[in-house]
Structure 1
Amino acid sequence: MKKRIFGTDGIRGIVGNEITFNLVMNLGKALAHKVCVGPKKGKILIVKDTRLSSDGLEAAVTAGICSMGSDVIFAGILPTPAACFLIKESNADASISISASHNSFEFNGIKIFDKRGFKLNDSLEDELEEIINKASNFRECQGDKVGVLCYEKSLMDNYVSHIAKNFKVNTENLKIAVDCANGSSFICAEKIFSKIGINFTILNNKPNGKNINDACGSTDLSCLRKFVVENKYDLGFAYDGDADRCMVVSESGDVIDGDNIMAFCAYEMSKENNLAKSCVVGTPMSNLGMIEFLKSKNINFVETKVGDRYISEEIISNGYNFGGEQSGHIIFKDFNQTGDGLLTSIIILNNLVKNKMKASEILSMFSKTPQLLINIKLEKEYSENLLVDIRQKFETMIDKNDKLFIRKSGTESLIRVMIQSYDKDKLKHIDNFYKKDQSLEFILKNQ
């Protein structure tokens, strides 16, 4: 069976291996062929992150799009959520974000949004994949039918204004640190926080093509935690490479993750009657403690598949307006259709100042159920029965009151095992046992 090109969040892989320039050019052809039909020329917006390969992939996808007669708008280095927001601003038929999100620089990827600003669903991705496989045989346009490209630098200002206008409070006595992960937010984050007039310091905003997400950003908070505590800042925000995630560090250096952020923001939205259907959308990775907290505030919790795309689909399909993931993808549908780290920061600041709260007080809103995450590396392709085999191994170590969730990562060659249990000693025992060797062979052999 042929391996699927699309994962849980677009196309992603190591450049020169899973992601080739030829594949990306054919993707450009396929996208133009799919979304731009009829006599009118199509128009596709592109943003990118700071990886070494992003310029080349931008050129490849642009060549594919223009060869099919559609035009390209370059918006420059911008977060993935800007690709979503700017579709309507630029009157584009679709948009592309060239990024591999939280992965290291060797990886890159393509995320696609349709004309409404929604990520493509599974059926549309399957359809597009079929077209990609035929795209190299497409007849290319000639003469004045060839697509053209234009640079629209003003689009960054549109996105900056969109985020900044949601800032509603006076924070003259607040000091914040912002970790841009040497990624796509490194220009616009400074513009946004300057525009709202807050006292801030930007960290990790000197990308060199290779240092994106390198010991910084939302996946490694050690740099931000140290800076906030040593310099007595009120809090810090950290984004990943394409700034669709946000993690927070309190004044005492403690981590405030996506579950904490969701509980805090959902409760504030509920108090102001702004939480649609009094409901939050999460995933099987969501902490049980957060879910219990929401229930205690008469807020419902709906679970969907892991991935902000599936959260967005659930929100849109059922008339909700808020959801997110523990990893820091937080969707405020009233403002954007996808996770937006910068927007999340602004809303958190609004809520903290309005309630005269310290960031650390967010952590006291609920007690987290102890949780263990084990990442099992995959060196090769395995059968679908593998997840069943792994589940059976772990089920022998837990009981019915515990929560076990196992999935294959959609962005990396990993199987993720998450266990939540009120028994800390049990989790410690499991953790110590598998710290010896987290290889697949060891796990399947032992129990």
Structure 2
Amino acid sequence: MTPPTPPRRRHRRKLGAAALALALAASLAACSSADAPSPSTAASASGPVTLQVWTWNLKGGDPEAEAIIAKYHQENPNVTIKLSEVGGTSDTASKLLAADKAGDTPDVVQLEYRAVPAMVVSGAVKDITADVASVKSGIDPNIWALTTFNNQVYGVPQDIGPMALTYRKDLFDKYGIKVPSTWAEYAKAAEQIRKKDPDAYIASFAANQLEFFAAQATQAGAQWWSTDGNAWKVGIDSEPSLKTADFWEDLVKRDLVKVEPLLTPEWNAQVNKGKILSWAAAAWAPSVIYSVAPDTAGKWETAPLPQWTPGNPAVPFLGGSAYLVPAKSKHAKEAAAFAAWLGASDEGSKLQLTLDIYPGGNAGRQATLTHEPPKLMPQQKDFYQVTDQVIKNTTIPVTWGPNVNIAQSAFGDALNKAALDKTSFRAVYQATQQAVVADLQKSGYTVTK
């Protein structure tokens, strides 16, 4: 499924329908130059170029990253890659918008998928459809959909987050608890764990994980953001979404999950002690757990994510990132070629395994099937078979809106307070809906029911 192009802000003055359509088409064309070479492309083709790359996976000085860059330079001696780490997605997105305004952008930028729509509607990134046409077969369509709008590609997927449940197999076995295949079974397992060990919980409840709750709603049949022609629709307070809120509110009120942010000293200690027994996240979770609880290695396994609808294995991705080419890159053609090689070519995709990430490219995915399982579960030889099957079932796209930051501000602290005070989660979702809609309208977007 390919999401439509995110709608842009409407003009402040009134426009007729035909004029509005022309304005939208013109603004899209202005930030999309895949069909025509940019002036810098012809100039750079005759000599060496240096690509400025903003990234956090490829860190200058790391042997694995340096080996990847060296390999690319060996095959493309006229291209020099200069790596810069400018922070996570929020920082990088803000800095890119500022750089775009100043007319001095990098050539390649790494962003999480949730930030891509905002960059598209701002015109800060380039349509690279034509540039990646030759490598389209290197990535499955459901993964390309993460960076594709109205059949236009704005980034090359790098890593992905197939959602799964990583759990303490030894303690589940000890307590006689069945690995849940549905969220109803998950709630029952949570009850059993509290009875078996009053100090243990099936999981923590981290209210600030906006992406997780958006993914939960999506799995249940909701879309927090979606497009309707030239307008946005917001479904944070839709009934399928609110039912997931009810589910977690019930677990919190019954003290079946521990209200605790992820990766705090307390959370780390509880994981090490065997008092937090699972994490519903993505295939990258084992490496995170191993980094804080290496002594628990061999006690964990990963299973498919529990289902809201029994028998429906479809889940969305959680997290992951792509490489995009800023609209004002001075070497856009070479930048797109580097992004395509890194994410979609057989060679680049396989090399990403050395970075301890889950590659989005087919060759990298195929290579995982004969790869050693994560250090957290060296005994689970079918780990990558399990997660690869999850990817095949990951057919539900999460559409992010241009104001994810507003949702984050309205949602996280309010939900944490509701969890601590045992008050309504629905009210938080409804208030977040109102804040997001109000911001979209204030910013000049059309919002429909």
Common fold: TM-score over 0.5: no
Q: Specify which structure has the higher proportion of helix.
A: 2
Higher RCO (CA < 8 A, seq sep 6+): 2
Q: TM class, shorter-chain normalised?
A: under 0.3
The two structures have a TM-score, normalised by structure 2, of: 0.27
